[in-house]
Structures are given as C-alpha cells and as structure tokens.
Structure 1
Amino acid sequence: MKLLVDECIDRKFTREFVGYEVKTVSQMGWAGVKNGQLLTLAQAEFDIFITVDRNLSFQQNLLQFDIAVIVLQAKSNRLADLKPLVPNILAVLPKVVQGQAIIVNENNIV
C-alpha cells in the first residue's frame, strides 16, 4: 500500500508507517500544487492521501478520484500532536475506500 503525506505535515511523520511505501508531497515534487490537481497526480501512484486539510472533502468531489483520503484532526499539525493518531491511522488503513475521506482523531475514527 502506497501512502502520500501532505506537505503541511512534518516529513518525520512518514517514519511512523513501517511496512508501507510512504512519500511526501514535497518528495514527489508536487509542493504548492492545489488539491484537485494534487489528487489527480496522486491517484496515479498512491492508494491513500494523508492530510490535515479538513476542507478537502468539501472542496473536492472525492468520488471522481481513485484514491482514499485520511483527514487527521489534531490540536495542530505539529509532529507531537499528530503522533498520537498513528494507532488509529494504522487501524483504518486496511478499511479505507477509494473516493472517500475518513477522519481520524485521537479518540476515534469517523
């Protein structure tokens, strides 16, 4: 399973996903690319896009993309605030569906 982590998330966060192929938006050379175009690029190479952008699912028709989206809800996008979400992210990875967004926070998965 291939994961793409949004550019507004610390690249060190990718270390939390042992056993997965993980890249950041910046590593792919896509920094600054807007969400619709980013999802179009990402769907060709990745299975899941991980972001903190809570508006993404409202701004884009995710059904038109062949990629699943995981939206992280934390106090901030700082690494220390995102790390506690990792167990819930790992739990949801096998269950995500292309064209849909799943919200993950420290307490649960929505």
Structure 2
Amino acid sequence: MRILLDENVPVQLKPLLVGHAVRSVNDPDIGWKGIRNGRLLERLEGNYDLLLTADKNLCFQQELIGRAAGIMVLPTNRRKQVLALAPQILAALESVSKGGCVLMQLDGTVSNWFRGE
C-alpha cells in the first residue's frame, strides 16, 4: 500500500509501517508541505492509497466519495502515542476502503466514519 503521512503525523512512524511504501508531505522531495486539505486530496489521486492524518475535521470538510484513496484519522499527533499505536495502525490499514474514512481511538480500535466503495 502507498501511504502518505500528513504534516501533523510524526515522520518517525514511516519505518514502523513495514511492508508499505510510506512517504510524508514533510519529505523535501514531495514538496506538499502546507498544501490545504482539498488540494492535498487531489494530489493523492493515483499517487497514494491512504492518507494518515491527525486532522479530525478532514473527513467532514472534504468530499470523499469517488476518491481513489482512503483516510485514517489518528487520535493524536503526539509522537510517543502515535509510535505506540504502530501495530494497531498496521493491522487496521486494510479496513480503510477507497473514498472511506476511519477513526482510530487511543486504545487502537477503529470505527468507520464513512465507508467508501
């Protein structure tokens, strides 16, 4: 799976998502840092399968139906807590459908905010 970390997600998570191609908007060669959510979702199309973010409003503010990428919203952007959730994040990746949005809780459980295709 091709995963993009939003700028509010610690980049230290990248090597923990084993078996996936993980990049960050903060990577200098990506050049997407500071791009607003709607534009970011447009750029995801065809390039990434999933956006990992801590922005709890993103799924409500943007139209996700018909998008090729899904979104997983993390419960926090605090590095220590996000890194501790890495096993649960890995386990939940396949539960995110195209155009869908799932919310992860601090205990690692996930719930569908919106199920895509």
Aligned to 1:109: 110
SS in 1 for 2:9: coil
How far apart are 1:64 and its partner, in Å?
3.5
Deviations 1:67-91 (A, max 9, x none): 00000013xx121021122222111
Q: Which runs of 4+ in 1 moved over 2 A?
A: none
Aligned position for 2:3:
3
The 8 Å contact of residues 88 and 106 in structure 1, kept in 2 or not, is answered as no
Residue 115 of structure 2 is matched in structure 1 by none
Unpaired segments ≥5 residues, structure 1: none
SS at match of 1:73: coil
- 2 CA distance for matches of 1:84 and 1:53? 19
What do you get for the CA RMSD once the two structures are aligned?
A: 1.1
Percent identical among aligned pairs is 33
Q: 1:22-54: per-residue Cα shift (whole Å, max 9, x none)?
A: 000122110111001001101220000000000
Residue in 2 aligned with 1:80?
80
Q: TM-score, normalised by structure 1?
A: 0.91
Higher helix proportion = 1
